[in-house]
Amino acid sequence: MRLDEIIRILDAVTVTNSLEPGEEIEWACATDLMSDVLYYSRGNSVLITGLAKQQAIRTSDIADIRVVVFTRGKEPDTQTIELARMKNITLLITPYSMYTACGKLYEEGLRCCPE
Amino acid sequence: MKLKEIVEILSLKPLVPSAGLEREVSGGYVGDLLSDVMANAGEGNIWITLQTHVNIVAVAVFKNLSAIVTVNGRMPDADTMEKAAEENIPILLTGKSAFETAGKLYQILNAKGIQD
Amino acid sequence: MKAKIDRTYEGSFHIVGGDFSRAGEASTELKTILLRMGMDEEIVRRVAIATFEAEMNIMIYATAGILRYTITPEEIRVVAEDMGPGIEDIELAMQEGYSTAPDWVREMGWGAGMGLPNMKKNSDVFRIESVVGEGTTVEMTIRLGDCGEESR
């Protein structure tokens, strides 16, 4: 799914971005637990999480995840935003809950990382 | 919509035999941070999570949730199952991910006009 | 891009327990070093994930610890040694979902019992030794396989 489609479907605000709007994101992963991001995710995925903290960015960087979505309109602190910028991670904020965000992306054809 | 129908459509495996599946489902919630679920899940929601330790039952009781779905084949701890039986909270197991489970549940509930 | 590793490289990082704001810095630095050497991205990802979990375990459970890495033409080896409480039952600790982490750690998105399984999953050889009251040592080896062979 194209990055600009993800942004549109989630009514998301773009906090940091270094990707092209047409960038293809292959998979999705939804969790608040960072070890599970590391265990199940693939590179080139979007991570949907309620953990609006530096840890989510750090983990995504380690796992080669390029797009992170914080749910429920949670505003990260400046260190988190700065880390995302430094690590070239696209950081989005959606007003939707994790459930609704998953539902809307799934409905439009995005799928989770295969094991 | 009845929990029983959702269990059938999503092929969820009920782990607490004594907890009935006749209850109504008001929507879904996905979350692994208990404080977040405590603050934001709605009454009657199905809660989709990776957490399996005993505290999830207390959260479900407190928020009056309709069921807990543990994803990625994550089997709840023995004390969690015990507590769930005691509190009459259905725990449903699926091998699928949270993303996929939420995605499908959203479609099912949306078709019935439930958009929480 | 194939890595050209013609000798052994070694280094280490000191980790201080409880300092969540710096959690992951050592693993991130090791990842950068490996990428700069031209290592295969999938191998770097495995090393980074395994190291990150080891680093987080020290951060969460121990007073302090040290991460040592050795890069040879054949393999990457990471040894994480900590001064921590030790693990009573290693077999149990290796089970997916088993955790002794306190609630505050769980609220930080960690401690859900996937750390050790994750280290094992990403290593070709995984060893763990622990003495209750003294500490835990984890040794993870990732083989470079064809990449290493061809680059010589």
Report the gap between the CA of A60 and the closest CA in chain B (Å). Answer: 17
Closest chain C residue by Cα to residue A65: C45
CB B51 within 8 A of CB B77: no
Q: What local confidence, expressed as pLDDT, does residue C6 receive?
A: 86
User: Which residue from B35, B52, B75 is facing C107, i.e. has the nearest CB?
Assistant: B35
pLDDT in tens, C24-67: 999 999 999 999 999 999 999 999 999 999 999 999 999 999 99
Q: At C97, list the tokens.
A: 């979902």
CB A105 within 8 A of CB A9: yes
Residue B90 within a domain: yes
Please give the mean pLDDT across all residues of chain B.
95
In CATH, what number is assigned to the domain containing residue B16? 3.40.1390.20
User: Which residue from A35, A43, A53 is facing C118, i.e. has the nearest CB?
Assistant: A35
SS3 C142: strand
Q: What local confidence, expressed as pLDDT, does residue C151 receive?
A: 37
pLDDT in tens, A83-113: 999 999 999 999 999 999 999 999 999 999 8
Q: What local confidence, expressed as pLDDT, does residue A107 receive?
A: 97
Using the predicted structure, report yes or no on whether residue B51 has a pLDDT greater than 80.
Answer: yes
Residue of A26, A97, A104 to mutate, testing the B interface (most B Cβ within 10 Å of its Cβ)? A97
User: Which residue from C97, C99, C107 is facing B33, i.e. has the nearest CB?
Assistant: C107
Residue B29 within a domain: yes
Q: What local confidence, expressed as pLDDT, does residue C149 receive?
A: 40
CA C121-C123-C125 angle, 5° bins = 120
CB contact under 8 A, B29 and A112: no
Residue C73 neighbours by CB under 8 Å, 6+ apart: C5, C6, C7, C144, C148, C151, C152
Domains of chain C in sequence order: 9-151 (3.30.565.10)
Q: Which is it for strands A67-70 and A90-93: parallel, antiparallel or unpaired?
A: parallel
Domain of B86 in residue numbering reads as 3-111
Closest chain B residue by Cα to residue C106: B33
Using the predicted structure, report yes or no on whether residue A41 has a pLDDT greater than 60.
Answer: yes
Residue B116 within a domain: no
User: Which residue from A72, A97, A112 is facing B97, i.e. has the nearest CB?
Assistant: A112
Among B108, B78, B81, B75, residue whose Cα is nearest residue B93: B75
Distance CA A23, CA A9 (A): 15
Question: Which residues of chain C lie closer than 8 angstroms to B32, CB-CB?
Answer: 109, 112
The total number of residues written for chain C in this structure: 152
CB contact under 8 A, C49 and A38: yes
User: Which residue from C27, C49, C109 is facing A33, i.e. has the nearest CB?
Assistant: C109
CB B60 within 8 A of CB B91: no
Q: Mark the ranges of chain C whose per-residue pLDDT is less than 50.
A: 147-152
Lowest mean pLDDT among A53-62, B2-11, C111-120, C139-148: C139-148
Distance CA A44, CA A61 (A): 11
Question: Which residues of chain A lie closer than 8 angstroms to C20, CB-CB?
Answer: 55
Residue B33 within a domain: yes
Please name the residues between 67 and 86 in chain B that touch chain C, using a CB distance below 8 Å: 74-75, 77
Q: What local confidence, expressed as pLDDT, does residue C2 receive?
A: 61
Distance CA C42, CA C44 (A): 5
CB contact under 8 A, C99 and B55: no
CB C57 within 8 A of CB C80: yes
Q: By percentage, how much of chain A surpasses pLDDT 90?
A: 92
Count the domains in chain B. Answer: 1
User: Taking residues A33-56, what's their average pLDDT?
Assistant: 94
Lowest mean pLDDT among A44-53, A79-88, B106-115: B106-115
Among C137, C128, C140, residue whose Cα is nearest residue C58: C137
Q: What local confidence, expressed as pLDDT, does residue B18 receive?
A: 92
Report the gap between the CA of C65 and the closest CA in chain A (Å). Answer: 20
Residue B49 within a domain: yes
CATH 3.40.1390.20 fits A3-109, yes or no: yes
Contacts within 8 Å (CB) and 24+ apart, B70-74: B70/B94, B71/B96, B71/B97, B71/B98, B71/B101, B72/A36, B72/A40, B72/B96, B72/B97, B72/B98, B74/B50, B74/C96, B74/C97
